[in-house]
Homo-oligomer: A and B are copies of this chain.
Amino acid sequence: MSINTSMLWADIVQIREKAPLIHNITNFVVMNNTANALLALGGSPIMAHAVEEVADMVKICNALVVNIGTLSSHWITAMEKAIDAAAQANIPIVLDPVGAGATSYRTNTVHSLMSIAAPSIIRGNASEIKACVTEEAKTKGVDSLDSSESAIEAARQLHATYGCTVVISGETDFIVSGGEPIQIKNGHVMMTKVTGLGCTATALCGAFAAVNSQLEMAAAHAMAVMGIAGEMATEQANGPGTLQLHFLDALYNLSAEAIEKRLSAA
């Protein structure tokens, strides 16, 4: 499959019109950025993690995003409840296995969360995606030790087991589902110097999944938007500080023209 401007733009229009409610159980580092990115794109973010309310919150939402970046036992319980509720209500579940492979606690948590219900989309760097398949994979903190391409086989296994779409983030992003992976070549290396843009990508996968039930397309659209907005932002930025603000502005100001001009997918 491949992606094109008009299909991508149609999703953005829907997000802006419907303002889908995205329930995020995510990490402390990126909550603010994640919420702002979802708002700038046109979505409506909600952060909630109390075990007493996550199931109720999921039911009024259009997608659930679970991110284990700063996990602890109480939060894992909330993630389990939310995933279970989302599966029952047929709401897309997007999983970000931040730092899987860095500690066995993280790796085990990811495996345990996937056993509650199959995720709809998993997004991570190559090391994290590999750690979703085997506990032997290693990660340097939250940074990948490997090229995106090296994780395609692991992504195929995840797809075979869970039926999910898998996004491997990197210089080239690979969106792996049944067929040939979609490749997105947008983005800029300076984006790796801003914390949490991977987490933002995961949240945007949730926003697109909320309006597009073809999850491979939803994920590809999210990654294309990340890369394109990142390129636009980098052109305005003097460094990673100003980049992150221009990135939000770029999401807010996205146009079909800008997408048409920059989209680099295969």
Contact = CB atoms under 8 A, between A and B. Distances in A.
Contacts of A99: 46, 48
Contacts of A193: 39-40, 252
A56 B103 contact: yes
Contact of A39 (B30, B105, B194, B248): B194
A92 B141 CA distance: 17
Interface string A43-63: 011111111110011001100
Nearest to A23: B141
Interface string A10-44: 00000000010101000111111101100110001
Interface stretch (A65-73, A162-170, A256-264): A65-73
A253 interface: yes
A206 interface: no
A61 B141 contact: yes
Given A36-B240, A245-B241, A72 B49 contact: yes
A182 interface: no
A48 B242 CA distance: 26
Copies of this chain, complex-wide, total: 3
Contacts of A247: 241
B32 A196 contact: yes
A52 B73 contact: yes
Nearest to A48: B70
A229 B102 CA distance: 32
A21 B105 contact: no
Given A29-B31, A36-B194, A140-B60, A46 B102 contact: yes
Interface of A: 19, 21, 23, 27-33, 35-36, 39-40, 44-53, 56-57, 60-61, 69-74, 99, 102-106, 140-143, 192-196, 237-242, 244-253
16 contacts: A27-B47, A32-B195, A35-B196, A39-B240, A44-B141, A45-B195, A46-B141, A50-B71, A53-B106, A56-B104, A61-B141, A193-B252, A239-B252, A241-B244, A241-B249, A242-B246
